[in-house]
Structure 1
Amino acid sequence: MQNITLKYPGRAAAGKKALAGVVGSGDMEALFEPDTADRLDVSIITSTDGSAARWERLFARLSDAAPLPAGRLVIHDFGATPGVARLRIEQVFEEARHE
């Protein structure tokens, strides 16, 4: 297991806590909690050692596509493909924006 911590500017508003995915499903879950700070703190617990660069690239693509919300994102990853990881993150951010 590897723990990865990332920090990004949080520029978008998000109104509520949200969850996407299921830990026991064999891929990943993403839990988001909004905050008033101007940053997004990302905590990733992954079963894939040596994957920090992959996560950094994924978040670089996400932040290029749209402003990231301010808050805390916790990811429990059990070998999800980059496509599934992006989908779960986009789902949790979408859910957090809708009140």
Structure 2
Amino acid sequence: MERLTFRFPATKILESQAHVGVVGSGDLEILMVPTDGDFAEVTIRTGTTGYKEIWKSVLERFFIQNAVSARIMINDFGATPGVVTLRLAQALEVANNAEYNKN
């Protein structure tokens, strides 16, 4: 099991928290919690070791477009970069959709 931590500058505030995905074969779970800082902190727990640079690249692309101030926890079970990107976008949409979060 590998644990990775990254920090990215942030300028946007999230509406609320989000929880998307499942920890299962080829997938991952993302928990996104708003913070009031000027950075985002991402912690990844993965059973697939040796992919730090790929994680960094995927996350950098996400934060270039979405500089959200949040604490993000990712529990990975071998997800591809495409699945990671999809789940991050999904978590952001859930966190920014206040109406969805009331249900």
Which bracket does the TM-score occupy, shorter chain normalised? over 0.9
Q: What is the CA deviation profile of residues 28-67 of structure 1, one whole-angstrom value per residue up to 9, with x for unaligned ones?
A: 0100000111110000001110111011010121123x13
Could you tell me which amino acid in structure 2 is paired with residue 33 of structure 1?
Answer: V
SS of alignment partner, residue 70 of structure 1: strand
Q: What is the identity percentage for the equivalent residue pairs of Structure 1 and Structure 2? A: 35
Deviation, 1:68, is: 2.1
CA distance in 2 between partners of 1:45 and 1:53 (Å): 15
Asked if 1:53 corresponds to 2:53, the answer is yes
Deviation, 1:93, is: 1.0
CA distance in 2 between partners of 1:62 and 1:35 (Å): 17
SS of alignment partner, residue 29 of structure 1: strand
- Flag the structure with larger Rg: 2
SS of alignment partner, residue 56 of structure 1: helix
CA distance in 2 between partners of 1:48 and 1:91 (Å): 22
Could you tell me which amino acid in structure 2 is paired with residue 36 of structure 1?
Answer: D
Correspondence for 2:79: 80
Runs of at least 4 residues of structure 1 off by over 4 A?
Answer: none
CA distance in 2 between partners of 1:89 and 1:10 (Å): 15
Aligned alpha-carbon RMSD (Å): 1.0
Asked if 1:17 corresponds to 2:35, the answer is no
Correspondence for 2:38: 38
Deviation, 1:22, is: 1.0
CA distance in 2 between partners of 1:30 and 1:78 (Å): 12
Q: How many residues align?
A: 97
